[in-house]
Structure 1
């Protein structure tokens, strides 16, 4: 029962950064109008989010190895709440970007510390199964974020989104204060940050994992970054964009469900990642062909299904060689892939071409997955 309760809390904490990102997505057009900036500038708020998130991951991961998982989680959620309250009071676009960066830095605690807690309690095939279960639950995050965000923007503008995020952070902080256990091993030494980084920089398998996590996330979040403006160009509303999140959540959930079932049947995680790359390639080609019509949303199902298949397998196997320094290694791993995601989304916001962004990501995923499969 204790592990079940921990898993429920872990799912909520892992959903938090995703919901914070996707809830914000329908507000991008409203932010552009409120601060008189174009789509390229408004889209940079998500890029700033990921770049600040990357540095938050390494700081919180390092601190959770030194001071424990529980106090660091509470500190990060408190910082997120304070930064969101600050965003509600800013009057300039640069001020909003600064508040967004601070909020992203705090939100990173929900990713790196929660993954570290799960790796403390589970390992090997059991950990892969846990990440698969988590993946199914996380499939609901885009639907919750987009649907709720669209409704809030429709009635209250972007400030309604920020208020909802503030309330969510306060709720999670209270829940963690009441229920989050300390899982840091008592005998865990504090690993050298420089030494761990040196090991990871020379680890080719880890770099492949960084690349795979990055390209699948860039494909997913480029839709949330560029999608509002594609819908606007096609004469569709922010509310309709929010409804698309429900459809995409079904695809992500199907991918995670297929992944869980195939793992139970003995399928290899490397082969599943390769298959996910192929599925994303098919979806991205169809998006390119249909990008001037609302029907482009349908092949996006394949893209998010690929995400649901690939990510649990990549995350579950990425740090098996670093069990003596999970917090520090997880922090650096997160730093690396979130930096790549941030750069990728910045380029995607600059070119404003959803279909071609997805196609590049799919080809990169296949290039990275094929060597892993052949090697194994």
Structure 2
């Protein structure tokens, strides 16, 4: 597989991991109605998703170092599709949560294995550029997920979302079967999971990267878990939430494009992460000030712009010292930050305060950049 074909498949798989989350968001209100649960309870489905996703990341990442990238990808995607097929038949909210957890565990393979394959094939500045290109493509994911999800919910309810995700997973499984070649190095050392874990837990840079990724993800996905109920409180339908995804996609795409141009101009990754945190903090303050109006969506542009700018640089820097164990290290890093994301979204769901959540997340991200400058 040439690099262009690999990048196309990688973008599709990484978009799937994001669309699987955002497509589900417009269904939260319908889930609340179908199972007679409140906003705080319905919003916890995304928290369960991220927590199960975290454990999936470590299992699939470890497995792809031992058994290869391709077979692990195929097994994980198949598990996701089967779980959601079962989800079409569940009749209780707890059953839906269980299905959501199993599906998230399977979906994690698309994230960790795809990132590992990219790190197999690209190094250094080229890898950062690849993640920037991926970031530009991923900017369309929120628009696709929110708009499509809102349309499906209006016609079919939440089961329409589950059915669409099953079909999408099946298509990607077939593409991976025919197009994904094995990229695991021939001489892969048999690294110890406990030793790698201890090394990473003792690495301040890894903790900083995990916290950064968690902060920017909680800021982004707290919108998807809280905004449906904010639109509902303002008397607006689910379709308005779907339309907001188009606007947010523009901001995310602009952030990723801006990041790519600044990297080409010679700006350091750390400078761009700091700039992203400043933008996110300004956006959080704007959302807090406008929370009683539909105009709160406008400062969310700064939040998604910050996400599109920061994440490629953080991912490009995170594992440069773990080149001999990319799958295992990527899995453990993913476990760390997805656990943090899940915990953050649980807190955001409890407090139902989007503006305050955004301010805290971006404030912490900005504070972390000051620790780097002191080292």
Q: Equivalent residue of 1:187, what SS?
A: coil
Separation (CA, whole Å) in 2 of partners of 1:274 and 1:13: 28
Aligned counterparts, 1:95-106, within 5 A? 95-106=95-106
Separation (CA, whole Å) in 2 of partners of 1:35 and 1:373: 50
Separation (CA, whole Å) in 1 of partners of 2:370 and 2:184: 36
Could you tell me which residue of structure 1 aligns to residue 168 of structure 2? 168
Q: Give the total of aligned pairs.
A: 375
Aligned counterparts, 1:180-329, within 5 A? 180-329=180-329
* TM-score, scaled to structure 1: 0.99
1:374 CA drift (Å): 4.4
Contact 1:212 1:369 in 2 (8 A): no
Q: What is the CA deviation profile of residues 61-107 of structure 1, one whole-angstrom value per residue up to 9, with x for unaligned ones?
A: 00000000000000000000000001101000000000000000000
Separation (CA, whole Å) in 2 of partners of 1:374 and 1:140: 37
Separation (CA, whole Å) in 1 of partners of 2:373 and 2:78: 42
Contact 1:209 1:314 in 2 (8 A): yes
1:373 CA drift (Å): 3.8
1:191 CA drift (Å): 1.0
Separation (CA, whole Å) in 2 of partners of 1:241 and 1:288: 18
1:335 CA drift (Å): 0.2
Q: What is the CA deviation profile of residues 253-292 of structure 1, one whole-angstrom value per residue up to 9, with x for unaligned ones?
A: 0000000000000000000000000000111101100000
Q: Equivalent residue of 2:322, what SS?
A: helix
- Measured on the aligned residues, the alpha-carbon RMSD in Å equals 0.7
Residue 129, structure 1, aligned to residue 138, structure 2: no
Could you tell me which residue of structure 2 aligns to residue 2 of structure 1? 2
Residue 141, structure 1, aligned to residue 141, structure 2: yes
Q: Equivalent residue of 2:125, what SS?
A: helix
Separation (CA, whole Å) in 1 of partners of 2:316 and 2:151: 35
Separation (CA, whole Å) in 1 of partners of 2:172 and 2:4: 17
Contact 1:274 1:373 in 2 (8 A): no
Q: Equivalent residue of 2:279, what SS?
A: helix
Gaps of 5+ in 1: none
| Inter-CA distance 330–193: structure 2 relative to 1 (3 Å threshold) | same
Contact 1:32 1:38 in 2 (8 A): yes
Could you tell me which residue of structure 1 aligns to residue 115 of structure 2? 115
Separation (CA, whole Å) in 1 of partners of 2:86 and 2:367: 43
